[in-house]
Structure 1
Amino acid sequence: MRRRTRGRDGLSLWSSAKDDQLEEHVPEPEESSSAAPARARAEPFSLDREQWDDVKKAARRHRHREIGYQAAELIFIAIFLVWTGGTIYSFAVPDYPWEDYELAANITILVVASVSAVFAAWRARVNGARSVVPVGSGEWLPPEEDLPVDNRVDLEREISRLRTLRFRAFLIALGWAAVHIGGFLGMVGVERSAAELLETGAQVPGRVASLHDPDGGRGGRSMEVNYVVGGRRYNTDVSLETDQRYVTGESVTVVYDRSEPGRMRTLEEPNENQFWVGVSVTVAIVALIAVPFSLVAAGAWRRRHRSVLATGWRTASVTVAPDYPIRSGRKMPSIEVEYRDGSRITLRASTSTHGSTPLRKRPKRWAWVGGEGRDMVVLFPHGRWREPPYAVPAWAVTERFQPDEQATS
């Protein structure tokens, strides 16, 4: 059966040649082995250099579209998170001054942002599926081979575990989104605490002892207020959040907590706990930044899973070489790969929590390499501290080459 293709680009040439070949190919039964991929062996396709160039150009075009849609998706998700937090804040803060049509505008923005994010994610997925450079080009992996049997490692299962890493990154993104909302709720809690103190606290007269207006914008404006409760004098700093101007010696009404007289505010100034306000704002901002990074990681693992699923694994001798010494502009570790047929390729570890630096102390160790281009994975038999196989994301710095060819060039 011939694959249905869209458009008249280079990928159509590959799809037609691949399907013609697969129709004639009858896979031979494999011996039962956990390391043998249950997949038809792909031979290099009969496309000339010019046709392969067209294929790669079409793949790069779809890849660029995928990146563009992913960027749009992240922007819409950030807008959705910010407006969600702001709307929750507006509902939770007592006596929030709603403007005309503000709630309707917030709901409209949330709906448009969510629909746009879903659409961008769908288009990114479609273009991502079309951006896979066809198997058989030989630029990054040698022809598929019969892998040595290793009963300790189920290579087919390790391909499935790449999808698990994608879901884990997505769950981490959801966790950061919850933390972002929690930051807004923390700010709401601070404001509600000040509002409850105004309703339930006791009132006494106070006096402005001094004013503090830092130069250069460092720190906020504040004033020191003196007041007496039960015969004891209290001197408390009050952060100024309104535009009201005070003078030294001015009388103000102090509202204090009956169980903790040192906790106070004035009728005009809520005197919110600036420490918890800063913590809440910092948490909300950090989480808002972390959500897109986690989503990018999830999308990257999805592409790597798709790429390795298409190519399978190749056995290779692998050496991890960190970019020492530590300095400005330092690059991620390089991974020197030598396949069983003698060909070599240089990879660069991708930024990930699955780093390769801890594996630097064992050069030329045997591992498995899969994927293509910017979506490659190096699978080590085990990590530094863990026994199960350890997947390191990487991308190709060079194309696959024979050492003698490089020497002559």
Structure 2
Amino acid sequence: MTSATDFRRTTFLSVLGKGDDVNKPATTPAEPDHAPAAVARLRRRALRLVIAGLVLFIAAWGMVGFVRYRDADLLKTESRTHGVVFAMIVSGKFESIGIEYYTDNGVRRLEFVDVDDAGAYHENDPVTVIYDPADPTRIRTEADPELPGLVRTVTVVSTFLTIILVLSGLIGTSRWRRRSAAARAEPWRAGTATLARSSAGKARTKLRVRFQTEEQDYRTTAPVMLPIPPALFDRDEVKVWINGTGDAVTVMFEYGPFLVAAKRT
């Protein structure tokens, strides 16, 4: 192995379930020399998840603030006129209506606005239009929602993704921060492990590791980002390296290689 980048499952995309490279054939023999750097990389990845979640949250609610600012600015113009509905459009969760109206200087306009329920409108229904005289394409009706449907959907989805990213990142940061110091300061003990599913749940794996002079039992921590590859459960023994003690153990698998967090049982 030449660097920590030879370890599998350390990229930002792998934690999102994309680009899992754990089953790719290794080009060089696995050795624990670069394992401390790989643990540090996992810690940095977790921190990036937190940052990505916060950036996404700020961007989504920044968009909400911008839309509300534009809407408040539009309402200040007080340019109102009568309009007529000429079309109703429903595309998935997004609904809009087409409005025909005339500006104060008599120019005919055909514009679309988002609505909560396009089915509540009918062709030739009258509506009151509020528009910007400097930009007649900016319109809304008195009955419009405060936020367009697309903005609300993006905000809800972004908030949901933020929760997932931040929680995953915080768990990962706590998990690998405790193991990072041990990875640098303590030796990596070579051994062979037999794997079994834990009764505590499919996400956890029990490992019985045989060293030169003793055997020890471990269990992977949960929740996990990615499960142990199924191919390892079909093997009688798997070569591993163990680092750390107690509740802060790191297991390096020769297969891959990749790292998992575990604790002594």
* TM-score over 0.5 for the pair: yes
Q: Secondary structure at the match of 1:341?
A: coil
Give the equivalent residue in structure 2 for 1:290. Answer: 165
Give the equivalent residue in structure 2 for 1:337. Answer: 209
Give the equivalent residue in structure 2 for 1:65. Answer: none
Residue 277 of structure 1: CA displacement?
1.5
* CA–CA separation in structure 2 for the residues paired with 1:179 and 1:306: 31
- Relative to its length, the structure with more strand (as a share) is 2
Alignment-mate amino acid for residue 153 of structure 2: G
Paired residues for 1:323-334 under 5 Å: 330-334=202-206
Match of 1:366 among 239, 246, 251: 239
Cα pair 1:181 1:284 within 8 Å, conserved: no
Give the equivalent residue in structure 2 for 1:177. Answer: 54
* CA–CA separation in structure 2 for the residues paired with 1:378 and 1:235: 58
Give the equivalent residue in structure 2 for 1:303. Answer: 178
> More displaced, 254-263 or 338-347?
254-263
Q: Secondary structure at the match of 1:303?
A: helix
Residue 323 to residue 165, structure 1, CA distance change in 2 (3 Å): same
Residue 299 to residue 199, structure 1, CA distance change in 2 (3 Å): same
Match of 2:258 among 390, 400, 407: 390
Give the equivalent residue in structure 2 for 1:281. Answer: 156
Cα pair 2:198 2:205 within 8 Å, conserved: yes
- Relative to its length, the structure with more helix (as a share) is 1
* CA–CA separation in structure 1 for the residues paired with 2:30 and 2:76: 66
Residue 308 to residue 270, structure 1, CA distance change in 2 (3 Å): closer
Asked if 1:352 corresponds to 2:238, the answer is no
Cα pair 2:52 2:165 within 8 Å, conserved: no
Cα pair 2:203 2:223 within 8 Å, conserved: no
Residue 307 of structure 1: CA displacement?
3.2
Cα pair 2:131 2:139 within 8 Å, conserved: yes
- Measured against aligned partners, the alpha-carbon deviations of 1:81-134 in whole angstroms (never above 9, x if no partner) come to xxxxxxxxxxxxxxxxxxxxxxxxxxxxxxxxxxxxxxxxxxxxxxxxxxxxxx
Residue 379 of structure 1: CA displacement?
0.6
Q: Aligned pairs, how many?
A: 220
* CA–CA separation in structure 2 for the residues paired with 1:251 and 1:207: 5
* CA–CA separation in structure 2 for the residues paired with 1:370 and 1:190: 52
Cα pair 2:242 2:249 within 8 Å, conserved: yes
Give the equivalent residue in structure 2 for 1:42. Answer: none
Alignment-mate amino acid for residue 373 of structure 1: G
Residue 195 of structure 1: CA displacement?
3.8
Match of 1:315 among 190, 195, 213: 190
Residue 179 of structure 1: CA displacement?
1.1
Q: Secondary structure at the match of 2:204?
A: coil
> More displaced, 302-311 or 250-259?
250-259
Asked if 1:164 corresponds to 2:41, the answer is yes
Asked if 1:189 corresponds to 2:66, the answer is yes
Alignment-mate amino acid for residue 345 of structure 1: D
Give the equivalent residue in structure 2 for 1:20. Answer: none
Does 1 or 2 have the higher relative contact order (CA < 8 Å, sep 6+)? Answer: 2
Cα pair 2:49 2:168 within 8 Å, conserved: no
Cα pair 1:177 1:288 within 8 Å, conserved: no
Residue 339 to residue 239, structure 1, CA distance change in 2 (3 Å): same
* CA–CA separation in structure 2 for the residues paired with 1:354 and 1:237: 40
Asked if 1:376 corresponds to 2:253, the answer is no
Larger gyration radius, structure 1 or structure 2 = 1
Residue 330 of structure 1: CA displacement?
4.0
Give the equivalent residue in structure 2 for 1:117. Answer: none
* CA–CA separation in structure 1 for the residues paired with 2:63 and 2:149: 12
Residue 192 of structure 1: CA displacement?
3.4
Residue 197 of structure 1: CA displacement?
4.6
Residue 303 of structure 1: CA displacement?
0.8
Residue 315 to residue 376, structure 1, CA distance change in 2 (3 Å): same
Residue 159 of structure 1: CA displacement?
2.1
Matched residues, percent identical? 24
CA-based RMSD: 4.3
Residue 153 to residue 275, structure 1, CA distance change in 2 (3 Å): same
* CA–CA separation in structure 2 for the residues paired with 1:231 and 1:206: 10
Residue 349 of structure 1: CA displacement?
4.4
Q: Secondary structure at the match of 1:187?
A: helix
* CA–CA separation in structure 2 for the residues paired with 1:154 and 1:335: 20
Residue 232 to residue 347, structure 1, CA distance change in 2 (3 Å): closer
Alignment-mate amino acid for residue 192 of structure 1: Y
